[in-house]
Structure 1
């Protein structure tokens, strides 16, 4: 399961990376994070999730469980 930050070095930011991954592999769900900007739902790929920084490992684990449960149903 990909997990990316919005702010990354280089020409592609995390939102663009998430969109590229989702377009190449539609079943892959992605978690996006940032400590500097909020990702509006319309900026995320379908079924993508956003978690703001700082976050706890428990929050990320719950998001992963949710994505796995959604994929299994």
Structure 2
């Protein structure tokens, strides 16, 4: 399928589907970006150094946020 064919198909879609496609394309762009890769590497480094939370800690945080209405 050519780009022109894709454009024609997408143009005929409902607005909600075009918005979903737009969000997906933005996600792909971000996921493949160098800045995202650096950010993930930095986060992995922090986790390797012990800066992380356990599942139990995360569940407690989630419970407290739900109780606060967040």
TM-score, normalised to structure 1's length?
Answer: 0.28
- Greater share of strand residues, 1 or 2? 1
Q: Which has the larger radius of gyration?
A: 2
TM-score, normalised to structure 2's length?
Answer: 0.29
Structure with higher RCO (Cα < 8 A, 6+ apart): 1
